[in-house]
Structure 1
Amino acid sequence: MRLALIGPTHPYRGGIAQYTACLYTALVREGHEILVVSFKRLYPSILFPGSSQKDSSACPLEVPNEALLDSMSPRSWTLSSGRLAQFKPDAIVAQWWHPFFGLAYTGLISRLRRRANVPVVFLCHNVFPHERPNLPGIDRLLAWSIARTFRRVDGFLAHSQELVDQIRKFRKGAVVRRIFHPVYDFYPRVGPQRAPGDRPRLLFFGNIRRYKGLEVFLRALEIVKQEMSVEAIVAGEFYMDSGPFKALAGRLGLDDSVVWKDRYIPNEEVPPIFEQADLVVLPYLHATQSGVVPLAYRFGVPVVASDVGG
């Protein structure tokens, strides 16, 4: 088949970019002809809470792509639709993870329909954003963007039942298929990184945002520490002020138990961090899925997660 993928890829960082690259690699391995249309601009810098949108890894995950799409430029939506029509794909799979991109996707798909009759499928990692600004009318605006965009596509793929249910709220009768989130197998296995007699090690991994429940993790760690000697690694860039969490760790007497790697973790550092861990802990306050779970599976590390959906 000739398939087109739309989504971020390197030099952008993060799980969605890695997913796009892994999906490309898997489809090419199966003999399909693939065009990847990527972004030349994702978020305006004012809307991005991290230090950089670009991947600083020494070993980036790169695949052939054409960076044509700009989330803020109607001209790029026209150019991208033209390139997709020229490729004549049998189907298009577009990554959906935030309604901010609804305007760009709506513009692109509307222009594409004038040139070609090709089915478009959204692969939904989220329907709503994880966190929303505290602004009047924001929920209504986001719902409008989602509903407006979802009307224009032919089907959906999702990795959890909660996402399936959310999609169907916005698109009655939609064709939705729930699929397994594949393991991120591009990371090499480096072998055990532990010495005999080391304390059990817990891992809290990923960009740190309020919904991920770091406070829950620290308070639980205090309880566990009363029963046994453990060490915890908190690895990931804070998308909020780290000060209150480090102060809480101090008040709980955890300074000798927590190792802070509070920065973006490049690809080459991911395998040893996971292979040093005995348990990955995901105490999310709410979630529809987590890419950290298949990452832990890659390294054979068990996962404890809160029962909050996904």
Structure 2
Amino acid sequence: MSAKTAIICNSNNPDLAMYFSKKVKCFRDEAYFLANKEIANNLNIGCSSVSKVSGLSFGLIIDSFLAFIVVFKLLFNRVNTVVFDTAHISNLPLAVLCKICGIKLVFTIHDWNPHEGKQQKNVLLYNKFVDKVLANAYITFSKVNTDTKVYQLRLSGFEKQSPAQPDGYYLFFGRIEPYKGLRHLVSIAKAMHEKGLPEKIIVAGRGEDNSIDELEALPNVEVINRFISDQELDGLLKGAIATLLPYDSATQSGVILHSYSYSKPVVAFDVGALHEYINDGVSGILVEHGNTSLFTEKMHYINENYDFFMSGVESEFKEFDDNALERQYKALLESLKR
């Protein structure tokens, strides 16, 4: 029996679990899969974690003991490389034991430079410990500067949805975080109102931000500050003209690809690695950071040329669909065998 690669997902984040499940479906015979208990039960694979949160908890203590059993299973199955598919604190005790046993460790890092917010310090500590002590290689989804081996992939694994005509609004969706620039939407919405543009902005997602009260007071903004179900988001995306990303910082964003899957273009500030996912003038428009006046103009431009941008998104989507995910991870697994 030849050596294998194991892919482990200790996170129970719904989006990350969705990507992981697709890898299991495609490569169940080529890799050894383990996951958080909930995901493992759903996919009929081995369990590597019982933690319900990525933080200090009783679940982490259990996971630290569970790590010994998991390492035994890895060695029994002749695993010589472990890919941690998500960032999670329960990766650490298992990774330390794998390191001691000579198993190569590949860490998936979505946020190389952590965003401003409650988890910023924790993510930074995790990244530093992994970098200095554990990692033999990384999987990233944007360019990073490091001397360690990097497998740079693109976010992918989205299913194409049936396109629908817009219903007079722009959409901002996803968890509300300080780095996502809601304060810019205040200026943008006011500029729209001053120009007499009839469209509105819908902000859909749970979180805290100092600009929420001001946004709620504007006549052309609707704020839905709560958890948004997949079914509700489906309806919101179908009716949107475009998705707005007035972010102050970013690495990459699943919001972009989720929008593409509905044939919806995006308008975004040109920050971080967003330019690697937006073909400017084709699948959306990039705007100089902070230039809310130009941002508003480009929103209107997309609305006036909606069919053109919808076609542009559809031509780009093949780079981010299920087939793209399968191609990338097939090549990755081949590379890890060498």
Q: Secondary structure at the match of 1:129?
A: coil
Contact 2:99–2:105 (8 Å) recurs in 1: no
User: Cα distance 1:212–1:284, how it changes in 2: closer, same or farther (>3 A)?
Assistant: same
> 2:43 maps to what in 1?
63
Contact 1:236–1:263 (8 Å) recurs in 2: yes
User: Cα distance 1:269–1:281, how it changes in 2: closer, same or farther (>3 A)?
Assistant: same
Q: Secondary structure at the match of 1:182?
A: coil
TM-score (norm 2): 0.66
> 2:243 maps to what in 1?
280
Determine the C-alpha separation between the residues in 2 that align with 1:217 and 1:63.
Answer: 41
Matched-pair identity in %: 23
User: Cα distance 1:121–1:250, how it changes in 2: closer, same or farther (>3 A)?
Assistant: closer
Determine the C-alpha separation between the residues in 2 that align with 1:66 and 1:250.
Answer: 46
Aligned-residue offset at 1:96:
4.2
- 1:107-256 counterparts in 2 under 5 A? 107-115=93-101, 117-132=102-117, 145-150=126-131, 151-161=133-143, 164-165=144-145, 168=146, 173-185=147-159, 189-192=161-164, 194=166, 198-199=167-168, 201-227=169-195, 228-238=197-207, 240=208, 244-251=210-217, 254-255=218-219
> 1:83 maps to what in 2?
73
> 1:19 maps to what in 2?
19
> What's the CA shift string for 1:97-138, capped at 9, x where partnerless?
46xx2xx433212212444x433211211134323559xxx9
Determine the C-alpha separation between the residues in 2 that align with 1:25 and 1:203.
Answer: 32
Determine the C-alpha separation between the residues in 2 that align with 1:88 and 1:106.
Answer: 21
Q: Secondary structure at the match of 1:176?
A: strand
Contact 1:68–1:80 (8 Å) recurs in 2: yes
Q: Secondary structure at the match of 2:240?
A: coil
Contact 2:114–2:124 (8 Å) recurs in 1: no
Equivalent residue letter for 1:245: S
User: Cα distance 1:250–1:36, how it changes in 2: closer, same or farther (>3 A)?
Assistant: same
> 1:47 maps to what in 2?
none
Equivalent residue letter for 1:210: P
Equivalent residue letter for 2:130: T
Structure 2 gaps, min length 5: 55-59, 274-338
> What's the CA shift string for 1:36-78, capped at 9, x where partnerless?
322359xxxxxxxxxxxx9xxxxxxx53343332462221222
User: Cα distance 1:203–1:183, how it changes in 2: closer, same or farther (>3 A)?
Assistant: farther
Q: Secondary structure at the match of 1:273?
A: helix
> What's the CA shift string for 1:173-216, capped at 9, x where partnerless?
2111222211422xx6244265xxx42x2110100111111121
Bigger helix fraction: 2
Alignment RMSD (CA, Å): 3.0
Aligned-residue offset at 1:142:
6.2
Contact 1:4–1:93 (8 Å) recurs in 2: yes
Structure 1 gaps, min length 5: 42-53, 55-61
